[in-house]
C-alpha cells in the first residue's frame, strides 16, 4: 500500500481559499497574502528592507513626470483566483491609478514594474513563482533586490540578468530611464 497522499487527501488538508474568501477574512490584526490559494501571514519588513524601499522610491520618483506612479507596498491581484500579493515597489501608469477609484474590489492586474527586496518572507523560491505569474499576466519587468550582496536580478520578457553596484539598469517598463545600482545601495 502506498504511503503517498492522493490528490483528494491533499485538497482536504490544504483547504484552499479563493479570492472572495480571502477578501472576507479579518485583515486588521496582521498583513496576509494569498499565495496559490493559501493564506500566508507576512511579518513586517526588516529595517534594511524598509531603507532599500525608501531609496528605491526616491530613485524611481522621476518616472512620475513621464505618466507613471511609483508606490510602496502596492497590493495587486495578478491572476483571477488564488493570488493576491503586495509588491515592495510597483511602477504603474497614471491611467491605472485613476481607474483604482472605480474598482469595487481588486481587478486582475499586474504592474508593469515590480520590485521585491529579499527578506525572510520574500525568499527566492517564493519570488520566482511570483515573478512567473506576474510576468504571465502583464508585468514587463520584475526586480529581486539583494541588499546583502548588493545585487539586483532583473527579469524582462527577453531574459534574466544580474546587476552589481558598478552597473546601471535601463528600464524596460519605462523606456529611456536608467538607474544606477550603486544609488540603490547608497544607504548612508
User: What residues does each domain of the chain span?
Assistant: 43-184
Under the banding of pLDDT at 50, 70 and 90, the label for residue 28 is: low
Under the banding of pLDDT at 50, 70 and 90, the label for residue 10 is: very low
Of 104, 52, 108, the C-alpha closest to 79 is: 108
pLDDT at 11 over 50: no
Of 144, 188, 153, 184, the C-alpha closest to 60 is: 184
pLDDT at 44 over 80: no
Q: Determine the Cα–Cα distance for residues 159 and 91; give it in Å rounded to an integer.
A: 20
Under the banding of pLDDT at 50, 70 and 90, the label for residue 164 is: very high
What's the confidence (pLDDT) of residue 27?
55
Question: Which residue is associated with the grid cell 531574459?
Answer: 159
Who contacts 148 (Cβ-Cβ below 8 Å, separation ≥6)?
118
What tens digit of pLDDT does each residue of 86-139 get?
Answer: 899 999 999 998 898 898 888 999 999 999 998 876 778 778 888 999 999 999
Looking at per-residue pLDDT, the higher value among 1 and 64 belongs to: 64
Mean model confidence pLDDT for the chain: 85
pLDDT at 145 over 50: yes
Superfamily name with CATH number, domain 43-184: tt1808, chain A (3.90.1570.10)
Amino acid at each position: 500500500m502506498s504511503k503517498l497522499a492522493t490528490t483528494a487527501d491533499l485538497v482536504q488538508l490544504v483547504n484552499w481559499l479563493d479570492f472572495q474568501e480571502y477578501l472576507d477574512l479579518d485583515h486588521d490584526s496582521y498583513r496576509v497574502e494569498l499565495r496559490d490559494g493559501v493564506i500566508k501571514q507576512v511579518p513586517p519588513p526588516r529595517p534594511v528592507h524598509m531603507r532599500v524601499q525608501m531609496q528605491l522610491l526616491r530613485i524611481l520618483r522621476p518616472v512620475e513626470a513621464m505618466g507613471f506612479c511609483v508606490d510602496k507596498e502596492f497590493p495587486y491581484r495578478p491572476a483571477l483566483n488564488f493570488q493576491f500579493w503586495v509588491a515592495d515597489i510597483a511602477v504603474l501608469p497614471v491611467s491605472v491609478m485613476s481607474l483604482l477609484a472605480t474598482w469595487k474590489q481588486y481587478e486582475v492586474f499586474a504592474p508593469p514594474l515590480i520590485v521585491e527586496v529579499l527578506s525572510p518572507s520574500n525568499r527566492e523560491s517564493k519570488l520566482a513563482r511570483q515573478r512567473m505569474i506576474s510576468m504571465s499576466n502583464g508585468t514587463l519587468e520584475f526586480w529581486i533586490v539583494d541588499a546583502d550582496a548588493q545585487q539586483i536580478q532583473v527579469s524582462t520578457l527577453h531574459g534574466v540578468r544580474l546587476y552589481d553596484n558598478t552597473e546601471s539598469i535601463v528600464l524596460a517598463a519605462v523606456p529611456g530611464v536608467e538607474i544606477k545600482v550603486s544609488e540603490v545601495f547608497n544607504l548612508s
